[in-house]
Amino acid sequence: MGLRFHQELVACRADGARTALYATLLCTAGVAVAAVLLYRWLPRWRQRKDRLPELYSAQRIAAAVEGDSGDDERLAHLARLVRRAKLPRDRLPGFVCNPRALSAGAVTFGSVGRYTVCLNVGLLPKRTTEDRAHFDAVVLHELAHVRNRDVDLAYLAVALWRVFLTAVLLPCLALNAALVLHDRFQGIERAYWDGYEPGAKTALLAVVLTALVYVARADILRHRELVADRDAVFESGSDREVWSKQAESRSAASPRLRLPRFLRNHSTWSERLAEMVQRDMLTAREMTVSKVRSGRIRRRAMRGRAPKPVA
């Protein structure tokens, strides 16, 4: 009798494991599809929600890059920045304005084949003032995001994070709590499959996995900003003094307490400037090593061409 019960229990667990595997694959596919749909919808929702007026369409920017900017000096200026950023023609963005953002910044959003650079209304006056380098640096930084295709990566990471929270973490914690409470108040002992038992350990595992996903997301968003900074300065020729001025002004006004760097989506201006200095040091070291190697090769070549003594 006991052997038969054991065999039936093993068979039941095998069926349950098979069903759980199919459900896991189906739910994983559902999460991926939901993340892709959210990734495509988020940029459109943002532009509609904020009611951002259009400055120039991508087609208008493409015509200006070819030289057809008319008498619009602002359009010609943006076209020059697009050429400096070396954007391919199929990745030219449109430009909109955020009339409620008074800071001198910008942001880029969009999805594959359709990108938009949103300029804050506080940034636009800097184009015609002595602080024109700030305008160029901000725009070139945003165009670097478009060239590097990290706009798609960022929105995919954000979409996957939100889908994970709503469709994975919350249902997992709710199911775990429901099973624990039901078993405790009903006095029922369930036979779970090997390696799983609802309770504090399962909830703790879910929290740890959530923390890992959050840290990975923050690292992606933070690293893309550093790469865009380096490209704007070293590839497009932005003035590094813009970053130095921002680091000096923000360091005095920044709060003493802030999250650790690995938990933040953005680095501080001081950290961003330090990354550029580190890039300079690495470049100088590479140039020194290259000169030393070329000198050794030249000396070896000279020895090889030295005349042989006459016997």
Query: Does residue 121 share a domain with residue 104?
Result: yes
- Say which amino acid occupies 87: L
Question: Measured between alpha carbons, how far is 148 from 154 in angstroms, rounded to an integer?
Answer: 11
Question: Measured between alpha carbons, how far is 39 from 152 in angstroms, rounded to an integer?
Answer: 8
Query: Does residue 14 share a domain with residue 158?
Result: yes
List the one residue out of 170, 190, 106 whose CA is nearest residue 144.
Answer: 106
Mean pLDDT of 196-206: 77
Q: Pick from 125, 147, 169: which residue ends a domain?
A: 147
194 inside domain: yes
List the one residue out of 136, 135, 139, 138 whose CA is nearest residue 124.
Answer: 135
Q: How many domains does the chain have?
A: 2
Query: Does residue 158 share a domain with residue 265?
Result: yes
Question: Measured between alpha carbons, how far is 115 from 108 in angstroms, rounded to an integer?
Answer: 7
311 — pLDDT class (breaks 50, 70, 90): very low
DSSP 173-236: HHHHHHHHHHHHHHT----PPTT---SHHHHHHHHHHHHHHHHHHHHHHHHHHHHHHHIIIIIT
pLDDT at 258: 77
Q: Pick from 108, 128, 147: which residue ends a domain?
A: 147
Q: Pick from 113, 147, 181: which residue ends a domain?
A: 147
What's the burial of 286, exposed, middle or buried (CB within 10 Å: 0-12/13-18/19+)? exposed
At 253-281, the pLDDT tens digits run 656 567 888 888 888 888 888 888 887 66
Query: Does residue 230 share a domain with residue 196?
Result: yes
- CATH of residue 72: 3.30.2010.10
295 inside domain: no
Question: Could you tell me which residue, 184 or 133, shows the higher pLDDT?
Answer: 133
- Judged against a pLDDT cut of 80, whether residue 173 lies above it is answered with yes
- Expressed as residue numbers, the domain containing 171 is 9-44+152-269
Q: Counting runs of H as helices and runs of E as strands, what totals does the chain give?
A: 9, 4
Query: Does residue 91 share a domain with residue 125?
Result: yes
Query: Does residue 143 share a domain with residue 194?
Result: no
Query: Does residue 156 share a domain with residue 36?
Result: yes
Distant-in-sequence, close-in-space partners of 153: CB < 8 Å, separation ≥ 6: 220, 224
Query: Does residue 26 share a domain with residue 84?
Result: no
232 inside domain: yes
Mean pLDDT of 234-252: 85
17 inside domain: yes
Three-class SS state of 122:
coil
Mean pLDDT of 74-95: 93
Query: Does residue 191 share a domain with residue 115?
Result: no
| Whole-structure pTM value | 0.80
Query: Does residue 106 share a domain with residue 241?
Result: no
Query: Does residue 223 share a domain with residue 165?
Result: yes
Average pLDDT, the chain: 83
pLDDT at 120: 95
Query: Does residue 166 share a domain with residue 106?
Result: no
Question: Measured between alpha carbons, how far is 240 from 230 in angstroms, rounded to an integer?
Answer: 10
